[in-house]
Structures are given as C-alpha cells and as structure tokens.
Structure 1
Amino acid sequence: MKKVLLFSSALQKDVQAHMNNNSYGLGLAYLHAVIEKAGYLVETRNFNNDDMAASETEMAADMRRFRPDFLLVQIFTMNRVSSCRLIKMAREILPEVNIIIGGVHASIFYEQLLQNFAVDCAVIGEGEETIVELLAALSSGKTPAGVKGTAYKENGVIVKNHDRPLIEDLDSIPFPRHELFITPKTEMACVLTTRGCPFRCSFCCLHTISHRRFRKRSVDNVVAEVEYILKTFKNIDTIQFADDTFTLDQPRAIAFCKEIIKRNIKVKFLCSARVNPASIELFRLMERAGFVGMGFGLETGSAKLLQSIHKNITREDVLETFRMLKGINIKVVTYLMVGFPGETRDTVAETIDLVNKLRKIKYFEFVGVARLWVYPNTEVYDIMKAAGRIDDSFWLTDQDVPFFTLEHSAAELDQMVTEISLGCMSWQQGVKQVVNELLHPAVSAKKIIPRLIRLKKYFFR
C-alpha cells in the first residue's frame, strides 16, 4: 500500500497571533478522506499554529518514521516560507519521495515553485478529484500528463495540463476526517456547507480556487454531517460553519434552520454572514435553531471605500441589518480593515461613526481592526505592482506578506489602527482594558496618568 504524508506548515507569526485556535484545517481533512478512500495509507499533520523550528523537527521525525511515497504540501501565501523550507528538508531526508504541492498560493505561483524548488507536481485549484487521479497515475508509473488541474516539469520545461472543472456535486465528497483535529478536550467542530464567493472584493484572493462560483451542499447532507459529529464526538457542543458567508442563499439557510428545529438537534452554531441579503425571518429562525454567534465582514464604514473595494454593501445595508438583529439573541462580531487605497482620516472617522451607531442599535464588543495585507492575484496587489513597489519575485523571499503601504507608511497605519480601536471600543471594554493595564506589574508610575486619562474618557463617552 502506497503511503501519503499530507501537511500544512507554520503560518507567519503575526497571523498566528490572531488565529482562532478552535478552528482547524478542513482542507486537509477533506483531502485525507478522499485519499484514504482511494486506498492509500495516509497521515496528516497541521503545523499552522506551531513554531517554525519546532515543526521542522517534528516533520523530519515523521518523514524518517513514516517514509512516505508521496509528500503533499498545502501552501498558503501566509505559510509559503515555512513550506519551502520543509520541501528542501524533505528532499534531503527522502531524495526519492514524490513532492506534490497545492493550495491557493501554489495555484497562483505553480510555475515559480516548480522552477525554484524540488517539487514534482502542482495541483491547481480544487484538489479532491485531482489528487486521487494524480496519485493513481504516479503510483502506476505514469507521468501527470493528461491529469486535469495539474502542472509539472518535464525535461526542464513546465507543462500545464487543462484546468479541471469545479466539483458541482458537493454531496459526493466524503465527510472530512474530523478525527484528525478533534481531541477529547475539543468542544467545537468545523463544517463547510458551501464553496466559493461570487463577490469581487479588491483584497481577496480566494477566487483563485472557486472562480467566484458559489456552490452548496444539500441541507440533508449538511444536517447528516452535523448529526455524525454529535454522535461520534460527545464533547462537541458548538459547530462553526467555515463558509465564506453561510447566509448568502437565504432560502437554503432558512431550510437548514427549520430542519435543525424539526429534528430537535441541540448544539450551538457560529457562522459568517453578509448584511445583504438579510431578513428578520432568517435571524429569528437562526436563533431558534441554536445560532449563538455571527460575524460580519464590514471592512470599513466609509461609503466611498465600500464602493471602491467592491464590497457590494452600503452603510444603510449595515444599519438595517443591525435593526433586524435588535432583540435577536445572537452575539454579533464585526471585522474591520484599515489602509485601503483612498484611506484618509475622514474615512477612518466614518468607520468609527458607523461602529458606534451600530452599537447603539445592538451592543457588540469591538474585536479589533486589521491592516490591509497584500495578497497575490488581487486588485490591491496589481496596484502595488503597477506602482513598482512589488513584483512576483517578492514571494521567493523570506519576508512576511506585506501591508498596503503605497499611500501610508507602516507607522501611519499603526496610528489609524489605534485611532479606530480607541474610537470603536465600548466603555465597558475600555475600562476593562485600562484596569488590566494598571494592574500589570510592568506598568511604571509615569504611565499611570495617561491610562487614568483614558479611563476618564471611557466613563464619560
């Protein structure tokens, strides 16, 4: 039986600091399931939240112990540095192993990676069908020639096969191997009910895989996975939907909630959603079905920026959705970014204004604001390239994914983050944070007065 070792390496440190430690690698779990079903002996390791050096030591030990025939590497832009280091190490430890790469970054830069690293083949796009066909070809001594959705190097020349169509029948894919990531202490499981997002946000590169095609599993198939998880893992009390936006297809979301209520399934649900479309009927059913948390990617409160980043929502859409949510017992979280092209002090002020208006309608805690990262295959990346501030060779360096600094320096972005954080934080959060800072043993006497001034500000907001 051929052996397959599947891994995803350490993310860059600043990303790890903001990771939700309750989530796990569903992509790995899906690939493990289909490869195992095809008759291979599979081991999977996820080092996304681990120290790079420590993960290299563990992976080296795994390779020497397991001695796989195939090494599959999931490459994101945020873990490309550690991935390439591990590929080099793997080739030294196992010179004959067949190294296959996949993931968003590999789908964009398959030529660059094949040219510069000891990689045998790249899976481009969605992987479940491609990897099974590719492993079958390689296991029988054939080349990847003709395997759709792959690229490889032949006699020093990179050959790209035809693209593979997206999987239309998502119900045909086996449930992911949750067992890989759920331990006796795990309380939350992750489920993916849809794939793809039809929108064109200027900062998002996920369309690389989905081509902006929204596809969905049937309600019965999703509910069956929920029931399987609850039956198999008795410690699970929460399920997080990993969809880009669970509520995009409202009739389907409503049908799901009704089925959960009908079957009397008792579990807490979390999801991401959009403010448009939205309806009071949907939110009431979600509350009855057990949804306890919902996250909205607002990004900015500026009407001008919402339009320029192609968010396809308005300030009024956001306000109206929060009016619908008033009185609904579902905790709300909003996600913000700063540093978009065209960002100014005025747009920052608009963001603060919108958040505070929303909180007056329905209280929620401010969870922070992110600086705009520049991912390849996005509009903001093209803007940076056109200005001569970055090119594709950057991704061969060991540098972290950059922020968008074409219009503002890193220090100015930090100031904007601070301004939004102070302006959007509720008085309850502000008081709690300042008190914790005052009680911290590292706070010197000269730092106490500025914190007391901040404390007064929050009390009299």
Structure 2
Amino acid sequence: MKILLLNVPDAHVGKTTDDWDLEATDIGVFPPMGILYIAGALQAGGKHEVALIDCILDRLDPEEAVSRAAAHDPDVVGLTVYTPTLYDALILTRRLRERLPRARIVWGGPHVSLYPDESMAQPEVDYLVLGEAEESFPAFLDALEHGQPFDHIPGIVWREGATVRRSGEPGYVRDIDAIPFPAFDLLPFKRYFSAIGTGMPVGTICSSRGCPFHCTFCCKPYSTYRSRSVDNILDEIAAYYAQGIREFFFFDDLFNASAKRVSAIAQGIIDRRFSIVWSFRGRVDAINEDMLRLARRSGCRQALFGVEDATDEGLKRINKKITVEQVRRAVRLCRKCGILTSTNWIIGFPHHKTREDVLHLIDTAVSIDSDFAQFNIMIAYDGTAIFQEGVAKGLFSPDIWRGHAAAPVPNFVEPIWEEHLSRAELSQLLKQCYRRFYFRPLSILRKLLRVRRFGELALFAKGALTLLGIKGYHRKTHQEGQSRFVDPA
C-alpha cells in the first residue's frame, strides 16, 4: 500500500494570551521525530511505499497540504495529533476526506491517546493508533491490507457499524533499541535548524524514552524510563553523519539520567571520530565536572536545563526535586567547561501570588546568568496535579480540555492560573522576563563574541529583532517535544 504521513500545520495553535504571536518557527524548526521513526519502521518492513509531508517546515495551509497529498494518491494517510494543533489537524482531515474519499485516515500521537473517544467521534477519522506506534502501526497496516482482524494489535481503535471497538492497551515498545532509525531520507534535513544552534542543519535524536519524575505541572508523570544502548545511539549518529548532518540535539525528556551514561556516549563519539556539535536537555542535579569536560571534548555545545521556579520553596511545591543552588552550580560548571547553558522558567504557578514573586524569578534568572533562557506562562494541562487543584478551587471547568477535544476551536485559549495574577498581567510580566534577560549589555556582548559563522550571526540578528517586537511565543506542545523546545525534566 501507499502510506502518507503528515506533520500537521500549526496555524491555529493553542495560546495563553491574546497578544502573544511569535511563531515557533522564529526560534527553530526541528524534524518531526514521531512520524520519522514510524516511517523508518515501515521502510524497514519493506512492505509499503512511504512518503512524508512536513506542513510546518513548508508552512503549508490545509489546501496546499491536501494538493501535495493527492499527488501521492495514498491508500492510508496518517496524522500525528497534538492538543494545541488539534483544530489544524481536524481541518486538514476534513479536506483530506473531501479530496481523497477512498483513503483511510488514521490519527495517532499524544492527543488521541489522551482523548480516544473524542477523537473517534470525528466522522472523518477512520482509525486511531494509541500509544507508541513503531510496532503497532506496521502490524495494523498488514492486517488492514489483508482484511484481517485488529484484536491482537495493541492500541487500535476502529468502527464496526455504529460500534467503536478498541484492541487492548496503548502500544508500548519495551526494547527501544529494536526501533529502526528515522527515515531521514524522506525530508530535507538540511532545512531544519535551531535559533540557539550554530546555524548548521540539525538532526534530532531521542536516546531514551520516559521520565521517572512527577512534577505537578507535567502531563506525563512517572512514564517508564527506557534507555537505548550507547552503540545503538552512535549508529544513529553515524547514519545522520553520512548524510552530512554535523549538529545534533538530544531531545530526550531526560538525557542525563546518569553522568556515567552521558560520559559513555561522549566517549563513543570521540572513539568513532565524529566531528560534530551536540546539545541536550537534562537536569541540573545529574552532572559533574568530569562528565562535562568529556562531553565538551566530544563536541557538546549546550545544555538545556528545566529550572521552572526561583525559590527552594517553590521548587518543592511543584515537586521538582532540585534546589536553586544546584541550578547555580550547574551553570557555573558548564561555563567552566566551555558548554553553553539555557534555562527554562515558568511564571504563573499557584504560589506566584504577586508581581513581586515573578519579578524575583526574573532577578534570579538574571543572576544565574545562563547564556539563554526561555520563559513561559504555566498552562494547567489536563491530568496534572495543578489542573486538579485548579478544578477544586473552581478556577476552570474540569471539562475544559475534553470539551476542546470534542469540539475544537481555532486558537483555543489554554487554562492558566488566574487566582492572583490575571492573564493580561502575566502576559506583560512575560515580556518583561525576556527583555530584562536578553537586553543586558553583558548578555549581548557575550553572544556577539561567540559568533564564528555567518549563520550564527544571522540567527542572532533574527532573535534580537524578534525580541524587540515581542508579543510572545506559542509552544506547540508540552505533550511531546518533537518539534519545539519544551521544558526538560
């Protein structure tokens, strides 16, 4: 069969404020790793013809995306769906159904695993694939092609007349070393980039899955942590390397689960003589100087740390299990070893009761002085401890997310904590965070002194112009970090 996989447009992404319009593509576009891994699994099986369209990279509207899709004349169209881009996914699905009436349309991704009933209520959707799909989706396609039942395949949802059927629990890949490498031949990888990278084309690698921590604001707590073997990770780097990719971003929820693991990966990069630069997302409490020095020797350029709050009391309240001093130490050690740092911060937690609380966070971020920083307003995601607390206080409806899942609207306004500070006040404070942090003479000078290539200078200039006219930044999703920077563990 001919299989077409689509990365959905993000023209109507959910938002936290009305005047927050910086597009995520202004700070970088990363490969859509979820569907690339699935495409790789299909290619490895050798049974189907596979094509892929990244609507975000090419800035395609639904009509343009459908025109490209029609040219492939697919038997099956698969879409990865995230809650913030749900409206775009639904509009695209409806256009696909009109233009390609005989094609089977399949939804997968984090959103459908959270809201299978609401997703299947959309009449244009034929099937759902819940959970991790690298094993279940190829098995589903084989059964579909040969008219066989789906009951033995994990996480498949389908209709039999007026009845919706489901085959057990969502898909789960126990041995992630067995997952074939992403189908990087299906997309123009040299067009993907990071605004805080070097300006070179960037490849994205997930060296592990899951996170054992339970932060109160995170919508996927206590997911089982699974790590790939070092050789398997290095083999994937080699596959990218052969295609001319020299910059890599490890997009794990938790890359540095242990310093020993990071050191083994770094040593492997050195031993295989890969001349690359790489960055990772991780925790501040799982690093040491020996690890960082070895990582730097292997090409590590930047570490992105999820900090979130600026007081030890606040960090305890969100169950972060770190301290402010650990953050300061991590940034100092990275700078000592020649590794850049980026810290992620969140404003609008329930315990941020006054403007002074947020201003203290800004002051702390400035004093810690990481090379980059990302600030966001806390979104109360469905299923999180903070969401349940807000429902109990009557701050938002318990069905606000499920209602959106059932009847998506463009630019869905995501629930935030407005018990103490209004949405408008938090929006203004968010702008202040970015301006205070980035428009310091020392910060600007440090960035200019690091410029070594024209691409870096161009990205720096673009970022500065963006911040000068800042209204904000829409994150694609906190459900999964495939295409955007989101908070590390």
TM over 0.5: yes
Residue 9 (str. 1) matches residue 8 (str. 2): yes
Counterpart in the other structure of 2:165: 159
Q: Which residue of 1 aligns with 2:313?
A: 304
Question: Which residue of 16, 30, 35 corresponds with 1:23?
Answer: 30
Counterpart of 1:222 in structure 2 is 233
2:218 aligned residue: 204
Alignment of 1:139-218 (within 5 A): 139-164=145-170, 166-183=172-189, 187-207=201-221, 212-218=223-229
Q: 1:58 to 1:143 in 2, by over 3 A?
A: farther
Runs of 4 or more consecutive aligned structure 1 residues displaced over 4 Å after TM superposition? 13-16, 183-186, 429-433
SS in 1 for 2:383: coil
1:83 aligns with 2:93: no
| SS in structure 2 at match of 1:412 | helix
Of 363, 373, 381, the residue aligned with 1:375 is 381
The equivalent residue for 2:134 is 128
Q: 1:253 aligns with which of 248, 262, 269?
A: 262
- Distance change in 2, residues 1:401/1:194 (3 Å): farther
1:263 alignment counterpart: 272
Identity, in percent, stands at 25
Q: CA deviation at 1:251?
A: 1.3
Q: How far apart are residue 366 of structure 1 and its match?
A: 4.2
How far apart are the structure 2 equivalents of 1:381 and 1:120? Answer: 31
Q: CA deviation at 1:56?
A: 1.0
Larger Cα-atom Rg: 1
- Kept in 2, the 8 Å contact 1:269–1:290? The answer is yes
Q: What is the aligned partner in structure 2 of residue 455 from structure 1?
A: none
Separation in 1, partners of 2:57, 2:422: 28
- Say which structure is richer in helix: 1
CA distance in 2 between counterparts of 1:226 and 1:180 reads: 17
Unaligned runs of 5+ in 2: 14-19, 193-200, 448-460, 469-489
Change (3 A) 1:23 1:3: same
What is aligned with 1:397? 408
Whole-angstrom distance in 2 between the partners of 1:410 and 1:77: 21
Q: Which amino acid aligns with 2:262?
A: A
Q: Give the 5 Å matches for 1:245-394.
A: 245-344=254-353, 345-359=355-369, 364-386=370-392, 387=394, 389-390=396-397, 391=399, 392-394=402-404
Question: Mean Cα displacement is larger for which, 75-84 or 144-153?
Answer: 144-153
Q: CA deviation at 1:424?
A: 3.5
**Within 2, Cα distance between the matches of 1:56 and 1:190?**
26
**Contact map agreement 2:347 2:430 (CA 8 A) in 1:** yes
Specify which of 418, 425, 432 is matched with residue 406 of structure 1. 418
Are the counterparts in 2 of residues 103 and 125 from structure 1 also a CA contact under 8 Å?
A: yes
After TM superposition, give the deviation of residue 381 of structure 1 in Å.
3.1
Q: Give the stretch that moved more between structures: 31-40 or 403-412.
A: 403-412
User: Contact conserved, 1:322 with 1:358, CA < 8 A, in 2?
Assistant: yes
- The worse-fitting range, judged by mean Cα deviation, of 62-71 and 107-116 is 62-71
Are the counterparts in 2 of residues 182 and 189 from structure 1 also a CA contact under 8 Å?
no
Q: CA deviation at 1:206?
A: 3.9
Contact 1:22 1:188 in 2 (8 A): no
Q: Which amino acid aligns with 1:223?
A: L
For these two proteins, the number of residue pairs brought into alignment is 425
CA shift at 1:103, angstroms? Answer: 0.4
Shift of 1:226: 1.1
SS in 1 for 2:121: helix
Mapped partners of 1:279, 1:326: distance in 2: 12
Gaps of 5+ in 1: 444-461
Deviations 1:264-323 (A, max 9, x none): 221111111210112111111111111011111111213232122221211122122233
TM-score of the pair, normalised by structure 2: 0.80
Distance in 2 (alpha carbons) for counterparts of 1:36 and 1:431: 46
